[in-house]
């Protein structure tokens, strides 16, 4: 391979993170934890990616200790002795393989439907009882509910540190609970948590502050956010760089160390008149490190490639563009999702120029924990 892949393989250090390179595995829900406990196979799945050279593993979304946090079957919990022991095994195996790992702490909000495990009588909890602007579900949260969830995020972060994780990621993206507060479409509150962006981000700010108090100043705190929502792929929290700055700066000042700016195709510019993508703008506006993501090594994006067509092909697409952007210091790290889900050795194959050995992503890989 003639590409200079150097920028992908530079180490990265920040607080509790000391990463051997700039490649992260993107958080991907796998539904392979019966009883909400991640078992040996889950540990082996993450270990294989660490053995494949990935610098930072970001776990699948794992639910905080609140009755409404979970929205899907067989998702690992981040509370209770058995689940935390399962996570400790994951951490130990990833560390033994030279990787670092952070859990993605998750509350699904109004995505939860009644009937879902662990207690089928528990409804979805959300800012205004809305799954989407025109779709009601579950209950609007009381102040007590809000306080409970904030404390549950803080407890999960504390437990992450105790178990030996290298930091945490808060799932503030894609239309789940934290994002339901950010997004006007699902936040119609008239109290201090609704209305202006300053109010809509208050919930996240209080979580970040509580997490920071729980883990201390030196434990890396990553916030994942997105413009797009699974309820509306065209939704936007910020239409302009100025609006993005207003959104990001308070979060940065509250204690976010790294922003993980989720977009579906990393090469797409965020605002007209500039090539910068969402992570690029985030780094420029906040001065904080940023992780980008979206269709690395794939021909089709997350939505069309995963859920609409049989196969997304072309294992190597976009690597040259990625390296060029990283060389220019547009963002600090890149998260890779489906390419690594399909092929645990994707990164070493890219590094060694073994393009034809890379397994192209196929939807079938979603059905196994290989």
Ligand X SMILES: Cc1cc2nc3c(=O)[nH]c(=O)nc-3n(C[C@H](O)[C@H](O)[C@H](O)COP(=O)(O)O)c2cc1C
**Cα separation of 174 and 228, whole Å?**
6
Stretch near ligand X under the rule CB under 6 A, chosen from 26-34, 45-53, 128-136, 320-328: 26-34
> Which residues are registered as beta bridge partners of 29?
none
Per CB under 6 A, does 289 bind ligand X? no
Per CB under 6 A, does 277 bind ligand X? no
Residue from 68, 124, 337, 344 in contact with ligand X (CB under 6 A): 337
Pick left, alpha or beta for residue 91 (phi over 0 → left; psi -120 to 50 → alpha; otherwise beta): alpha
**Cα separation of 156 and 276, whole Å?**
34
231-270 footprint of ligand X as x/- string (CB under 6 A): -------------------------------x--------
| Closest separation in Å from C-beta 301 to ligand X | 6
Per CB under 6 A, does 306 bind ligand X? yes
Contact status, residue 236 vs residue 272, Cβ threshold 8 Å: no
| Closest separation in Å from C-beta 16 to ligand X | 21
Q: Which residues are catalytic?
A: 176
Binders in 37-76 for ligand X, by CB under 6 A: 60-61
Residue from 28, 82, 243, 369 in contact with ligand X (CB under 6 A): 28
Residue from 23, 54, 101, 298 in contact with ligand X (CB under 6 A): 298
Per CB under 6 A, does 313 bind ligand X? no
Stretch near ligand X under the rule CB under 6 A, chosen from 191-199, 295-303, 314-322, 342-350: 295-303
Per CB under 6 A, does 181 bind ligand X? no
**Cα separation of 36 and 42, whole Å?**
12
Per CB under 6 A, does 127 bind ligand X? no
Contact status, residue 227 vs residue 263, Cβ threshold 8 Å: yes
Task: Please identify, using beta-carbon distances, which residue of 76 and 189 lies nearer to ligand X.
Answer: 76
Residue nearest ligand X (C-beta atom): 337
Task: Please identify, using beta-carbon distances, which residue of 104 and 187 lies nearer to ligand X.
Answer: 104
Binders in 345-364 for ligand X, by CB under 6 A: none
Contact status, residue 104 vs residue 169, Cβ threshold 8 Å: yes
Residue from 29, 74, 151, 184 in contact with ligand X (CB under 6 A): 29
Measured between its terminal Cα atoms, the distance across the chain in Å is 27
Contact status, residue 8 vs residue 22, Cβ threshold 8 Å: yes
Task: Please identify, using beta-carbon distances, which residue of 215 and 223 lies nearer to ligand X.
Answer: 223
Residues engaged in binding ligand X (CB under 6 A): 26-29, 60-61, 104, 171, 173-174, 224, 262, 293-296, 298, 302, 306, 336-339, 366
């Amino acid at each position: 391979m003639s590409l200079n892949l150097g920028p992908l393989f530079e180490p990265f250090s920040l607080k509790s993170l000391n990463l051997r390179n700039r490649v992260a595995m993107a958080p991907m829900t796998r539904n392979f934890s019966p009883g909400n406990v991640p078992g040996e196979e889950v540990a082996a799945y993450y270990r294989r990616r660490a053995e494949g050279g990935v610098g930072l593993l970001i776990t699948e979304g794992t639910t905080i200790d609140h009755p409404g946090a979970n929205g899907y079957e067989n998702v690992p919990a981040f509370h209770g002795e058995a689940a935390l022991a399962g996570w400790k095994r994951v951490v130990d195996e990833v560390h033994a393989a030279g990787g670092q790992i952070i859990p993605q702490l998750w509350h699904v909000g109004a995505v939860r439907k009644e009937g879902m495990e662990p207690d089928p009588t528990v409804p979805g909890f959300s800012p205004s009882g809305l799954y989407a602007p025109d779709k009601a579900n579950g209950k609007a949260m009381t102040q007590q509910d809000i306080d409970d969830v904030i404390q549950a995020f803080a407890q999960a972060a504390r437990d992450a540190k105790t178990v030996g994780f290298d930091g945490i990621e808060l799932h503030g993206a894609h239309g789940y609970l934290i994002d339901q507060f950010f997004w006007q479409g699902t936040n119609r509150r008239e109290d201090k948590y609704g209305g202006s962006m300053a109010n809509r981000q208050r919930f996240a700010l209080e979580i970040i502050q509580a997490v920071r108090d729980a883990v201390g100043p030196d434990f890396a705190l990553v916030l994942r956010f997105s413009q797009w929502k699974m309820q509306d792929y065209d939704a936007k929290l910020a239409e302009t760089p100025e609006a993005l700055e207003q959104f990001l700066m308070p979060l940065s000042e509250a204690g976010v160390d790294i922003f993980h700016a989720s977009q579906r195709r990393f090469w797409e510019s965020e605002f007209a008149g500039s090539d910068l993508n969402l992570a690029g703008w985030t780094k420029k506006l906040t001065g904080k490190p940023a992780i980008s993501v979206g269709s690395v090594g794939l021909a089709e994006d997350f939505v069309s490639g995963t859920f609409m067509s049989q196969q997304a092909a072309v294992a190597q697409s976009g690597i040259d563009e990625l390296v060029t952007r990283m060389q220019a210091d547009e963002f600090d790290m890149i998260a890779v999702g489906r390419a690594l889900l399909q092929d645990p050795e994707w990164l070493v194959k890219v590094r060694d120029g073994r393009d034809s050995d890379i397994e192209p992503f196929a939807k079938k890989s979603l059905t196994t924990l290989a």
